[in-house]
């Protein structure tokens, strides 16, 4: 007799505590490898650049690290971007004690050598389907950024380009080369 594995809920996933890098995908726990060193410093560069811009203009909040976003329920999906921006008007005044309910306005994913293209594509689609306005895929290996938006073709930026997000962060620009420079 076959038995069905019980799917985790977002609440149960939260109760597991610090289990290391992971996400909850349609009720199934997915463990991830620890980030490599270059991944960490690229995430930090993006986080500090974006946070400086956002906080100086009081546009919202920027999170990085292990902040989870509840994208789907029954079964539950909790995704964890490397960096995320949420506009002020979407933030509950009391904060968010567990997982943010819904997608951020901007999700940033810094690619790792272990990332598989199909998994990355699925993650981008999950973000956009859940209401994320913009997803940045940042590739330290090729030193490029691919910007995804709902109902638009992906747009590529190389080291010679300025990364902008005029629809979400008016006035924000950063030379792509700066993201990958020590």
Average pLDDT, the chain: 92
The enclosing H or E element of 99 equals none
pLDDT at residue number 89: 96
- As given in the structure block, the two tokens for residue 84 are 């995320």
Rg for the chain, CA atoms, rounded: 17
Extents of the domains making up the chain: 36-67+79-91+103-179
Whole-angstrom distance, CA of residue 179 vs CA of residue 157 = 12
- pLDDT lower than 70: segments of the chain: 1-5
- CA-to-CA dists, residue 75 to 82, 122, 149, angstroms: 23, 16, 25
Q: What is the pLDDT of residue 2?
A: 42
Both tokens assigned to 44: 């930090």
pTM above 0.85, yes or no: yes
pLDDT score for 5: 64
The CATH code belonging to domain 36-67+79-91+103-179 is 3.90.1570.10
């Amino acid at each position: 007799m076959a038995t069905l594995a019980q799917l985790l809920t977002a609440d149960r996933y939260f109760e597991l505590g610090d289990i290391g890098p992971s996400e909850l995908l349609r009720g199934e726990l997915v463990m991830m490898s620890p980030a490599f060193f270059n991944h960490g410093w690229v995430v930090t560069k993006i986080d500090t650049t974006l946070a400086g811009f956002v906080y100086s203009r009081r546009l919202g909040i920027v999170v990085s690290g292990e902040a989870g976003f509840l994208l789907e329920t029954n079964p539950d999906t909790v995704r964890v971007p490397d960096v995320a921006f949420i506009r002020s008007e979407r933030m509950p005044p009391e904060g968010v004690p567990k997982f943010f309910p819904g997608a951020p306005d901007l999700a940033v994913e810094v690619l790792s050598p272990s990332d598989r293209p199909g998994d990355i594509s699925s993650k981008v689609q999950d973000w956009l389907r859940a209401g994320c306005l913009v997803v940045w895929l940042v590739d330290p290996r090729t030193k490029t950024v691919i910007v995804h938006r709902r109902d638009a073709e992906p747009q590529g930026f190389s080291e010679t380009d300025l990364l902008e997000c005029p629809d979400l962060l008016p006035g924000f620009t950063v030379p792509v080369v700066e993201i990958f420079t020590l």
